[in-house]
């Protein structure tokens, strides 16, 4: 089990509730109640990280060989570094599980815990208009449908839905979230050029390897400290191996 001290340390350093003391950042979220609601439910605070470790990581521990290959952290300084690193870790877990299940679709899964995390994501996405239908994805990805595989498929697709609102790249395409706060203005021509080079040389950019690709962008200063989530990943890897 992941040590509480690691999670509390991340919680204290990210201090995600500082958002509420900054009206400039708070206002655009308040314009969309659903976004504000999801911020509370999935913010990387201690309660949610503990929940993720117990119900999102623990049930899949036997299926996480190779996790280190599917997680990448930002090596650059930018406003969304914490969020992207957390997203990469969460998505890297699911991507690793998916790959290992494809190699052995009959592997046992903890149905009870999968139902709990699946139900939690239902609460997170309760106000979304698009509902997840996972049967086709499950059959295409794993070649069959069982209760465990369907639950995992639903979790995988629900996490993708959450990304649509929170990923700064996906979000920037959604006009409903655009606002006049100076921090959300269009990027510079040079930055668009740098990001364009990354997009042009990579057919698919997944959330788990997005930080690795963004590290190639020369428009961001290099980070001087490791990711706050590196100790959490290291603790997971020690348990897995």
pLDDT of residue 240: 95
pLDDT of residue 204: 67
CA–CA separation, 53 and 142 (whole Å): 25
CA–CA separation, 99 and 153 (whole Å): 12
CA–CA separation, 107 and 186 (whole Å): 46
Q: Provide the terminal-to-terminal Cα distance of the chain, rounded to the nearest Å.
A: 13
- pLDDT under 50: residue ranges of the chain: 17-26, 29-30, 172-185
Query: What's the structural domain count of the chain?
Result: 1
DSSP, collapsed to helix, strand or coil, labels residue 199 as helix
Contact status, residue 163 vs residue 170, Cβ threshold 8 Å: yes
pLDDT of residue 173: 44
pLDDT of residue 95: 94
pLDDT of residue 220: 76
Q: Largest alpha-carbon pair distance within the chain? A: 51
pLDDT of residue 191: 66
Residue 10 belongs to domain spanning: 4-240
pLDDT of residue 140: 96
């Amino acid at each position: 089990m992941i040590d509480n001290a690691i999670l509390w340390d991340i919680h204290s350093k990210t201090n995600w509730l500082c958002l509420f003391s900054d009206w400039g950042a708070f206002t655009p979220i308040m314009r969309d109640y659903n976004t504000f609601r999801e911020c509370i439910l999935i913010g990387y605070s201690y309660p949610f990280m503990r929940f993720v470790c117990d119900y999102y990581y623990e049930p899949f521990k036997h299926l996480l060989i190779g996790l280190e290959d599917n997680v990448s952290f930002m090596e650059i300084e930018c406003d969304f570094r914490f969020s992207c690193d957390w997203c990469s870790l969460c998505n890297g877990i699911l991507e690793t599980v998916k790959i290992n299940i494809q190699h052995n679709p009959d592997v046992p899964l903890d149905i009870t815990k999968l139902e709990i995390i699946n139900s939690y994501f239902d609460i997170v996405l309760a106000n979304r208009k698009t509902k997840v239908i996972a049967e086709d994805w499950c059959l295409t990805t794993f070649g069959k449908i069982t209760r465990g595989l369907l639950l995992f498929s639903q979790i995988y697709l629900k996490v993708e839905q959450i990304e649509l609102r929170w990923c700064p790249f996906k979000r920037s395409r959604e006009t409903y979230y655009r606002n006049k706060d100076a921090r959300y203005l269009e990027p510079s021509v040079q930055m668009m050029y740098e990001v364009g080079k990354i997009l042009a040389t990579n057919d698919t950019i997944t959330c788990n390897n997005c930080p690795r690709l963004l590290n190639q962008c020369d428009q961001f200063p290099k980070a001087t400290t490791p990711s706050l989530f590196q100790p959490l990943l290291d603790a997971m890897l020690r348990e897995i191996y």
